[in-house]
Structure 1
Amino acid sequence: MNPLQVGLVFLLAGTLLLSGCSSEPPIDDLLEQGRAAIKAEDWTEVRRLKNVLADRENADVETQFLEANLYMNVLNYQKVMERVGTIAGDKRIREDCMLLAVHCFTAVQDMPSAMRTLEELVMEFPDNVDAHRLLIAHYYDFGALQRAMQHCERVSELAPKDPRPDRLMGLISKDFEKHELAITHYLESLRRAPNDPEFDQQNEIRVELAEVYIRMRKYQDAKQQLQELSEDTPLRLNAMANAYLAECAMALGDFGEAESRIQLAIQQDATLPNGHTVLGILSMQTGKPEEARNALERAAELDPSNDRVFFQLSNVLRQLGETALAEQALARHEEIKTLKLEYIELNVRAAQQTDDDGIRVQIAQIAEKLGDLEAAISWYSGALGINPENKTARERLIQLTK
C-alpha cells in the first residue's frame, strides 16, 4: 500500500469514528423513551426528552406530544387540547392523544364529548383496555347497565387475569335477578382474584353470591360461600353473612341455629334491614306474631323499598286482626312492585338511549319514591353528565346532597 492509500484509509477511519461519536438517537427512539417516562411518571425525564426533541429537525409532532403530557400532569387542559388537536392525526400517537382528550373532556364535565371520543377510540382501537374500562365506569354511572356489561365482557377477554369485570357483571346480573348469570360471573371473579394482590373484594363477592344462592334455594351452596369468608371480614359484612346463614338454617328446619345466627347478626349491626326481616319471618314460623310484627316494622323503617318486607308484614298484621293496617302494608307492597317493574323497564330504555337525560331523571324520581337516595343521586348525576342544563336534575341533586 503506497503512502497515499495509507493516508486515505486513516482519513476514512477518522471520519467514521467522528461520525459514530456524534450520531444522535433516532427521533422514534426518543419518542418511545418519552412514553416510558410518562408511564413511570418521571416528569423530569419527560421534560428533558422534550427539550432534546425540540432541538431536532422534523420532530414537532413528538415534541408537542410530550408537551401535551407535561401539561396534563399539571392539569392545564386547554394547552393539552391545543397540542392534541394538532398532532392527533399521527398514527403513532393517535391512540394516546384520544385518551388525553377523553381525560380533558371528563375534567371539564363535557361528558357527551368524552363518551363520543371513547366510542371512536374503541372503534379504531378495539383492544384498548383502558378505553373499555372508562366506558364501563361512565355507562354504569349513567345507568346504561347493558352497555356497561358489553364493555365488561370485552375487558374480561382482554385482561383474563383481572377479577373486576366479572365482579361487576355479577353484581349487575344479581340486581336484575339473572341468577345463573350472576353465579357464573361471581365464580369467575373469585377464580381470578388470587392473580391480583390489590383486589380485596372476595368477601363481598361471597356474601352477594350467597344471596343469589338463597334466592335459588341452594342453601348448601350459600353456606359454603359464607363459611369461606376471611377472618378480617368487616363487621357489617359479617352481620349480613350471619343473617343469610340464619335464613339457610331456617329453610333447612334448624330453628335453633337460625335463632342464634340472627341474634348475632342484629348484635353485630342493629341497622341491618335483612337481619330484622329474617327475625320477623323466623318469629312468624315459631308462633311469635307480636315479635314478628316488631321486627318487620323495624325492617320496613330501615328498608322502605323492600316489597317482600311489606308482604310479610301484611300477613302478620292480618294474623293479629289488624285488617286495615294489613291492607295498607299490602298496598305498599303492590306499589313497590309496580315501581320496580317500571324502574327495570326504564333501565332497559336507558341502555338503548345513552344520550337521553330525561329517562335518567324519570329513573331517579322512581329511586326517590323507593327510598334509594344513593341511586337517585347517581341517576340525576348521569342526567347532568348528558345535559348540564337539565334543571330538574340539578335542583334535585342539590336537595339530595345538602
Structure 2
Amino acid sequence: MGSAFYSSAGHKPVAKAVHTLNQAGARWVPVNKSFIALTKIVLRSGAERLGLATLAVTLRCVTHQGYRHLVLVNDDQYIQIAAAGRVEEFIISSQDLMCVPDNSLDVCRAMTLPVDYQQQRLGYLLAQPRTDYSHVGDAALDARLSQGLQAVADEIVRTIKRYQTRYRAIYVYGDQAYWIGNSRVLRQLDQRIEKLAHLNVPVVIRGDKGTGKVIAARSLHCQRFSDIVPFIESDCREWQDAAVLSILQSLYTYAKGGTLFLRNLDALSEQGFAVVRDYVARRRRYSGDPQGDVRLLFSLSRREAVGAPGMVAWLADNAADLLLPGLQERRDDVRDLVRFFIHELGHGIEFDFTADAWQLLEMLYWEENVEQLKRLVQTLTLVSQEPMIGIDLLENYLPPQDFYLR
C-alpha cells in the first residue's frame, strides 16, 4: 500500500495502527510530576475562584514497579496484580507542599467532598476557608461553596480523562500530546468532546495549526472506548488521487472496531473527495448505521478551510463540528502553559517573568498557537541567565509585534 501515498518530507508514517495491549495497562495512570502539575493548576484556580486558603485532593494510589499510580478501577484483583506495594492516600495541594498532609489544613474547619470516577471513590476534596470566612450556620454560603467544590471535583475528573489520553499517547501512540490549562474555554471544550464522543455520527475537527487537532481526535477516541482498540490515523495530503479507494478500503479494515481519523480532508482534490464521499455513503447503506463498525473522524488544515466543491455542505449534513479554540481565545491558559513548559523543558532551570512581560505574553496573537508559545519557552530556557525575564529580553525573541498584537 506504500505506493499509494506521496513520500512526505519528514518521512512520517502515512497511517498509524494501534494494536491491542494488556488491558490492565489502561486501568491506572502514573502520578508523576506532570499529573501533579495539571492537578495543582485545577486546585489553585479553584481556591482563587472560591476564596479559599487551601484546596487539596486526596487520591487512592498504589505503588507499581517503583512508581506511584492512580487506580482507576474498583477491583482488588487488578490492584493485587499491579501493586508491589500497599494502597496509600496521596495528597496534592494548592499550596507548594505535596505528598504529606498540609499543616495549614484544619480538619475541623475544612469542608470535604468526595471525588468519584466511573462509579468508584477516588478520594476527597479538602477545602480550607480563609480565617476571615465562616460558613457555619449560613446555608446559602454552604450551598454555593459545595456547588463550587463540585465543579472543582468535575474538573479533576476531566483532568484524569485528559491525562488518560496523554498516557495512551506516550505508551501506545508513541508521542506526548495533551492540553494544558484550566480556562473556561478549555473546560467547555472538554464538555463538548464528552458529548460528541457518544453521538452516533462522524465528527469534523476544525482548528488552526497548534490548536490540538490530534489531541481532540484521541480524546474523542478515548472517551468512546474504555479499552484499547484500533486508532488509525492517515493524512490526506499524502494520498494519490488514483489510489484513494484502495487506501480507504485498507484503512477501514485496519480500523475495524475502533476509530479512523482522516487528517486534512480539505487537501483532497475534487476527484479524491468524491471518492471519500461516495465510499462513506456506501458503508452507511451497507451497515444501516451512520458509523458502522468504525468511528470516523475528520480534520481540516485550518478552522475556516473550504476544500473541494461541496465539501462544506457535505460535512454540515453528515458530521458534527468540533471547533478548537486558538490561544487568543485561551488567554487565561497562557501562564499555566508557560509554567508547564518551563517545568518540562527547562532541565531544572526555573525562571519567571516580570508583570509587564506576562502582560505582553497574554496580549500577543500566536499564529501557530501553543506550538509557537512552546518554542519561545524552549528558546528562553537556553538563553536566560537571570531568574526573572523582563520585557526587553522577551521582545528580542518575538516576531514583529505589529504582526502579532491583535
TM-score, normalised relative to structure 1: 0.24
Which structure shows the bigger proportion of residues in strand conformation? Answer: 2
Structure label with greater radius of gyration? 1
Which structure shows the bigger proportion of residues in helix conformation? Answer: 1
